[in-house]
Structures are given as structure tokens and as C-alpha cells.
């Protein structure tokens, strides 16, 4: 399918920060809009947008921190910024149906957007968390401490789980580390804060697809996905959980190349397993976004 690409801008206003994004859409138009959110890298997911556009969807990925007028780190990011992008897809992109596809911290945001007030029709969460976590990087004051929420809504911090600063990595200094143990320990240390920080799982009008690997060494995404699915099922709502025991944190969908090696973190998985999980999830992702799934 022939697609067109362009840079778009939105916000500020109504609590949202200004944002810049990449839009890919079928040349003949498409009435399904998808907001695509990266994780803590903060990058714009242009490759994934192109893949979705070739499936007939209008895909927008935005920079939501680290840009002009935004927090320099993933700290107290207004959820209104994502709501602004959703409004853009509805009004300028002329979408009748809206989905959000997020990875890692982007999945955390995507799950917040599953709350009924945002009017999102489908959420696909790759390597999700089950709670809102503390900030990753500095806030507008340039400081990383004290720990603060990753998100705000209507100017108020969203309840969050802090990090246990007494944790230390098991790997020798100087090499890539797994921080899975840090997240697991923090959930135990601050267990009393978990219930208030639990992420939404959407209402009856929102399809939900959760994708997680059993070898995720970044954070406990499979445990989180199973918890989210259980809460969704307990509410009497359908959910699709797609897993692969050998896949890691960075799931790759069909058409995406292997993730680049990191000198800082161990993400787990392998190129083959990460791609296999993405391939298994892809048809369910498309069904949810199009509204053609169960």
C-alpha cells in the first residue's frame, strides 16, 4: 500500500505540552488512527508507524518528553499531552476509531489512556507494567530527586511506586546490567503503595491486547501482563494475552529489524524469540485496532 509521511505538531493547551510527531498514513486515507508510543528512549517510532500505515491505518508517533517545552526526563509528564495527540487524530486525521500502541514506559502511558474518559477504542501494550512508576530522569527543575510520579493529570501527580534506592546490580561494574531485580524489590518494599498506583485496564468499549516475554530482564512485564489480564477478566471483559517464554523486553513486530545492542542494559530474549513474539501478536494487534477481533 502506498503511504505518505509528514511531520506534525500539536498542543499546547488544556494542560498538554507542545509536541512534535511523525505521521504515516495511506495515500488514499484511513479512518482508523493509532498513537504509537516508544519507551524510555523517548524516540519517535517512525518505522512502526510505516508498518501500520501499510496496513491501512493512520499512525502518529510523538515525542512526549525531552523536547522543547517538555520535561527533560520522564518525570511528571502530563497525560493531557497524549490526549492532545488523540484529539489531533480525531479532528485533523479524521479518524472514527482510535487505538494506542505503547512499549514499556509507552505501554504504561497507553494503559492510562485506556481509562474511559479518553475515549480510546483499543490499547496494545508491549512489555507493560501493572503500576505507575516513579520518574526516569529529571523533571522540569533539572533534578532526578526527590522521586516523583512519571505522570500528571490535571496538574496533579498520578499515584506511583517509588524505586528502592538500596538495591544494587548483581552484574560487575562496567557491563550491561539487568534492572529486573530493582523493580521486583521495589514492588515488595513499597507494597502498600501498589493498589493506588495500579494502571487502568479499560472499560467495555476498549479492546485490550497485552504482549510480554518470559525472559524480560528490564522489568517483570510477564507478571504485570498476567495481573492486568486477571483484573480485566475479573471485570467480565475480554482480553488478549500473547506471550513467549524466551522473548525479552524489546519485542519486534513483522517488518522491524533486530533491536540494537545496548552497552547499558540487559533486555533479555533473543532476536529470534523477540521476533516470534511480535509475529504472534501482530494479527491480534491489527484486529484490536480495526475492531475486528473477538
| Dihedral angle sign, alpha carbons of residues 231, 203, 63, 269 | positive
**pLDDT per residue as tens digits for the range 156-178:** 999 999 999 999 887 667 789 99
List the one residue out of 135, 154, 64, 157 whose CA is nearest residue 102.
64
CATH class of 3-290: alpha beta
Query: Is the per-residue pLDDT at 261 higher than 90?
Result: no
Domain chopping of the chain, boundaries:
3-290
The set of residues, in sequence order, having a beta carbon less than 8 Å from that of 188 and lying 6+ positions away, is: none
Q: Which long-range contacts (CB under 8 A, 24 or more apart) does 268-272 make?
A: 268/178, 268/180, 268/213, 268/215, 268/216, 268/217, 268/218, 269/213, 269/215, 269/216, 270/246
Q: Tell me the sheet residues that pair with 212.
A: 243
Residue 201 in grid coordinates:
485496564
Residues in the chain: 294
pLDDT of residue 253: 98
**By the 8 A CB rule, do 115 and 158 touch?**
no
Q: How many CB atoms lie within 10 A of CB 127?
A: 32
Share of the chain above pLDDT 70, in %: 99
Burial group, residue 7, by CB count within 10 angstroms (0-12, 13-18, 19+): exposed
Q: Full-prediction pTM beyond 0.85?
A: yes
* Helices assigned H by DSSP within the chain: 46-53, 80-91, 105-112, 180-189, 194-197, 221-234, 271-290
Is the pLDDT reported for residue 71 higher than 90?
Answer: yes
pLDDT the model gives residue 153 = 98
Residue 93 has pLDDT above 90, yes or no: no
Mean pLDDT (the chain) is 95
Residue 294 has pLDDT above 70, yes or no: no
Contact status, residue 277 vs residue 267, Cβ threshold 8 Å: no
How much is the average pLDDT of 216-245?
98
pLDDT in tens, 263-280: 889 999 999 999 999 999
Q: Cα separations (Å) of 72 from 137, 157, 189, 282? A: 7, 17, 28, 32
Burial class (CB in 10 A: 0-12, 13-18, 19+), 293: middle
Amino acid at each position: 500500500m502506498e503511504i505518505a509521511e509528514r511531520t506534525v505538531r500539536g498542543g499546547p493547551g488544556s494542560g498538554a505540552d507542545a509536541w512534535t510527531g511523525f505521521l504515516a498514513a495511506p495515500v488514499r486515507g484511513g479512518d482508523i488512527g493509532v498513537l504509537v508510543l516508544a519507551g524510555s528512549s523517548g524516540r519517535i517510532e517512525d518505522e512502526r508507524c510505516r508498518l501500520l500505515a501499510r496496513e491501512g491505518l493512520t499512525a502518529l508517533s510523538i515525542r512526549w518528553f525531552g523536547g522543547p517545552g517538555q520535561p527533560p526526563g520522564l518525570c511528571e509528564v502530563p497525560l493531557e499531552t497524549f490526549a492532545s495527540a488523540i484529539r489531533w487524530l480525531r479532528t485533523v486525521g479524521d479518524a472514527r476509531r482510535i487505538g494506542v500502541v505503547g512499549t514499556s514506559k509507552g505501554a504504561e502511558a497507553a494503559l492510562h489512556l485506556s481509562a474511559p474518559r479518553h475515549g480510546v477504542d483499543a490499547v496494545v501494550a508491549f512489555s507493560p507494567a501493572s503500576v505507575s512508576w516513579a520518574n526516569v530522569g529529571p523533571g522540569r527543575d533539572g533534578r532526578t530527586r526527590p522521586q516523583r510520579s512519571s505522570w500528571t493529570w490535571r496538574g496533579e501527580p498520578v499515584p506511583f511506586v517509588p524505586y528502592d534506592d538500596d538495591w544494587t546490580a548483581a552484574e560487575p561494574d562496567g557491563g550491561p546490567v539487568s534492572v529486573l531485580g530493582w523493580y521486583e524489590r521495589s514492588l515488595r518494599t513499597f507494597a502498600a503503595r501498589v493498589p493506588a498506583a495500579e494502571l487502568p485496564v479499560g472499560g467495555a468499549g476498549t479492546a485490550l491486547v497485552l504482549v510480554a516475554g518470559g525472559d524480560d530482564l528490564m522489568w517483570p512485564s510477564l507478571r504485570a501482563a498476567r495481573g492486568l489480564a486477571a483484573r480485566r477478566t475479573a471485570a467480565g471483559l475480554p482480553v488478549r494475552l500473547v506471550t513467549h517464554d524466551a522473548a525479552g523486553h524489546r519485542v519486534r513486530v513483522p517488518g522491524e529489524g533486530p533491536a540494537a545492542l545496548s552497552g547499558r542494559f540487559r533486555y533479555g530474549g533473543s532476536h529470534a524469540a523477540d521476533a516470534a513474539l511480535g509475529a504472534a501478536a501482530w494479527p491480534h494487534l491489527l484486529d484490536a485496532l480495526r475492531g475486528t477481533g473477538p
